[in-house]
Amino acid sequence: MRRLPQSSSFSSFIPFLCVAVVFWKAIVAGGSGGLLVLCLRKGALLKQVFALSRAATPRESCLCAAGDALVSCHRHYRSHPTHGIGKFKYLLPKESPKKRKDKVQMKEINVGTEYEYGDVNIQMTSYDMCLVEHFAQYVHKLCNRLSIRVNESYAMPTKTNEVLFLEERGSKMQVDAVLTTHQRVVQISGLSSTFAPILLEIIQSNQPEGVHLLVKEHTEADFKSRLKSRPELEELLAQMN
């Protein structure tokens, strides 16, 4: 029999004993008729108990080693009055299941006595990813500070351009550079027309070098450009029609 490690001998002894006592009682109650079976069963029992204790010891030892007081093995059974005392999920509001397709149009009226812009997209493009990301973060935080509602802040897919170098008096094009263009969009709404020029001026003056800024109103085309087209679906639809 494999020797149990010394340090956990005490902690393993108790469950071993308890389990052994329980089983032993059961076997004794079964009667003397099953003595032979008893031996076998005892062997199996010992193995079982040993397996249990072996399972118990590493867990307990690592628990003791970690010293984590919050993780305890003393969870109360269902009959105990404090059963389920730590549950809270039933108190939270129910989350509605997410719809597959996102509906677009949230445009506000632009014409009126109080001019207010609808959804406005601030698009920042650059070759340098860190720069454009930091600038997008700055614009987002600026809008938060100025109490302008930011609807969304997302990134458009990266475009990769390969610059091919054609040598003079040569026909072969060589790969000169691989340029990646990154674009980040911050979508705001509720911009009043008296404040818009000030905001634009602030963003313009803080524009870093190498970042191209474009401010335009949000259209359906902008929304559609974020979605991937599914050619098979379109083919099938065309066939159906």
Cα angle 237-239-241, degrees, rounded to a multiple of 5 = 70
The least distance separating another protein from the CB of residue 208, rounded to whole angstroms, comes to: 7
The least distance separating another protein from the CB of residue 196, rounded to whole angstroms, comes to: 6
Distance in angstroms (rounded) separating the CA atoms of residues 139 and 215? 12
Q: Which residues are paired to 152 by β-bridges?
A: 187
CA distances from 109 to 103, 144, 167, 185, 222 (A): 18, 23, 55, 22, 18
- 180 touching another protein, by CB under 8 A: no
The least distance separating another protein from the CB of residue 194, rounded to whole angstroms, comes to: 5
- 110 touching another protein, by CB under 8 A: no
**Interacting residues of 163 by C-beta distance below 8 A, sequence separation 6+:** 175, 176, 177, 178, 179
- 217 touching another protein, by CB under 8 A: no
Distance in angstroms (rounded) separating the CA atoms of residues 189 and 119? 5
Which member of 196, 213, 219, 222 binds another protein (CB under 8 A)?
196
Binding-site size, another protein (CB under 8 A):
13
- 55 touching another protein, by CB under 8 A: no
Select from 24-32, 61-69, 99-107, 205-213 the region that touches another protein (CB under 8 A): 205-213
CA distances from 111 to 190, 217, 222 (A): 13, 14, 22
Which residue number, 56 or 203, has a Cβ lying nearer to another protein?
203
- 213 touching another protein, by CB under 8 A: no
Binding residues (CB under 8 A) for another protein: these are: 115, 193-194, 196-197, 200-202, 204-206, 208-209
